[in-house]
Amino acid sequence: MKYDVVIIGGGAAGLFCAIHAGRHRRRTLVVEHNPQVGRKILISGGGRCNFTNLGTGHENFISENPHFAKSSLARFTPDDFVRLVRRHRIEFYEKKLGQLFCRENARLIVDMLLAECSYSGVEIRTSCSVKHLEFDGGFKLETSSGGLSADKVVIATGGLSYPKIGASDLGYILAKQFGIERTQLRPSLVALTAADKDMYPKLAGISIDAAVSDGKRSFHENILFTHRGMSGPAILQISNYWDKGRPVEIDLLPGRDIAAQLHEGRGRGQKLTNFLGGLLPRRFVDQFMHSQFSSQSLNTLSERDIDQIAESLQNWKVRFSDTEGYDRAEVTLGGISTKELSSQTMESKKVPGLYFIGEVVDVTGWLGGYNFQWAWASGHAAGTAV
């Protein structure tokens, strides 16, 4: 069967690309190997889908070419997607920092995309796997439901994160087949495991408002202790930049001059652990404080002691040994090299008519709706171009 456009992958980027290709009267087919489309959308944002971020800019993305995303993001903005959401009467709210969530559930976003596909005349085949793709001036696809041909093919297969819901390496395999380069891949927006694991099981479940830095960038949000290390928004954010060879710096009391507060409290005769227990969770304080300070009163601390305590609390250097892996990662860092693609259309420079969009590309956003906005923007760019 012949199509103008075949889109491989029925996630956020693939469906949105299909909508815009269909609007331009292209005979469009989406093939999805899962039994249903949009599975990652359904589980995102705790089931409420953080579908965009009002503050989206190219600065919120990691790529070998930090300017690559500018064009697509400028031509399809968060406001553009919000207008679509409003048109479908989906109620939403801003949680924090420009993050927009569905007030009810993520299914509404999937239903919206399916409705738009229907309006645009898009055909969708689920439980349909691509076995082979070749190009000889046009594209021929061998799938589990038969042979197809297309003038143009869009790869929207996502990354390796969440293999339990069907993530695969198909996009990277197809790129390699055509000699298209990709960058190094690793799990990201993911919890980190600690090199020193003795303390962490005792701290599991504790959440602290903190500033986490890699020395260049800092994220001020919660950290969450796990049995193996740390998670929470600030840790997920820094995982995009984490270098295995360098410690992560954590300020457990951001915005405070804890050394000055310790000095002020010296006249009270209060125990150090009691004083810190008023600022941080007591279970954390009991485990964190060095044994030489645990029973001391503030009025017995020397200047050197105070400096040492303040440094340990506000510049705590933590070495992480690894991530929790693709099973727990929200995204895959890296992907199809941006050197291989047009930033205007997402088309391959080597294979005319072949496009790559969404997470499969080396453009990775921060936590907070940025990766969905990249899916919409890159899908719009390719869908309009085809």
Give the per-residue pLDDT at 290.
64
- CA dist 180 and 195 (Å) reads 36
Would you mind telling me the total number of residues written for the chain in this entry?
386
Q: In the predicted model, is pLDDT for residue 142 greater than 90? A: yes
Q: In the predicted model, is pLDDT for residue 291 greater than 90? A: no
Residue 263: strand pairing partners: none
Confidence of residue 263 (pLDDT cuts 50, 70, 90): confident
Give the per-residue pLDDT at 196.
76
Confidence of residue 267 (pLDDT cuts 50, 70, 90): confident
Confidence of residue 292 (pLDDT cuts 50, 70, 90): low
Name every residue whose Cβ is closer than 8 Å to that of residue 305 and which is 6 or more positions away in sequence.
293, 296
Can you say how many angstroms the Cα of residue 268 is from the centroid of all Cα atoms in its chain? 47
DSSP letters for 229-264: EEESHHHHHHHTT--TTSPEEEESSTT--HHHHHHH
From 143, 164, 52, 71, select the one nearest 361 (Cα to Cα).
71
Contacts 24+ apart (CB under 8 A), 266-271: 266/298, 266/299, 266/301, 267/299, 268/298, 268/299, 269/297, 269/298, 269/299, 270/297, 270/298, 271/295, 271/296, 271/297, 271/298
Mean pLDDT within 194-205:
86
What the block records as the tokens of 237 is: 């954010």
What the block records as the tokens of 251 is: 């300020």
What 8-state DSSP symbol labels residue 289? S
Q: In the predicted model, is pLDDT for residue 268 greater than 80? A: no
DSSP letters for 319-384: -EEEE--TTT-SEEE--B-GGGB-TTT-BBSSSTTEEE-GGGBS-EEPTTTHHHHHHHHHHHHHHH
Confidence of residue 198 (pLDDT cuts 50, 70, 90): confident
Identity of the amino acid at 149: S
Encode pLDDT of 105-139 as tens digits. Answer: 999 999 999 999 999 999 999 999 999 999 999 99
What the block records as the tokens of 385 is: 């171009």
- CA dist 30 and 133 (Å) reads 15
Fold of 192-323: Elongation Factor Tu (Ef-tu); domain 3 (2.40.30)
138 by DSSP, 3-state: which? coil
CATH code for the part of the protein at 2-186+331-385: 3.50.50.60
Mean pLDDT within 89-100:
96
| Cβ–Cβ under 8 Å, residues 153 and 6 | yes
Which is it for strands 28-31 and 123-125: parallel, antiparallel or unpaired?
parallel
Considering the entire predicted model, what is its pTM? 0.94
12 by DSSP, 3-state: which? helix
Give the per-residue pLDDT at 241.
96
Confidence of residue 339 (pLDDT cuts 50, 70, 90): very high
Encode pLDDT of 2-34 as tens digits. Answer: 999 999 999 999 999 999 999 999 999 999 999
Domain boundaries, the chain: 2-186+331-385, 192-323
Encode pLDDT of 65-83 as tens digits. Answer: 999 999 999 999 999 999 9
What the block records as the tokens of 264 is: 């002020």
Q: In the predicted model, is pLDDT for residue 295 greater than 90? A: no
What the block records as the tokens of 28 is: 């469009």
- CA dist 108 and 48 (Å) reads 9
Mean pLDDT within 147-151:
97
Encode pLDDT of 269-290 as tens digits. Answer: 788 988 999 999 999 998 887 6
Encode pLDDT of 208-234 as tens digits. Answer: 999 999 989 999 999 999 999 999 999
Return the percentage of the chain with pLDDT > 90, whole number: 87
Mean pLDDT of the chain: 95
- Among 101-105, 155-159, 241-245, name the one with the lowest average pLDDT: 241-245
Q: In the predicted model, is pLDDT for residue 350 greater than 80? A: yes
Give the per-residue pLDDT at 288.
86
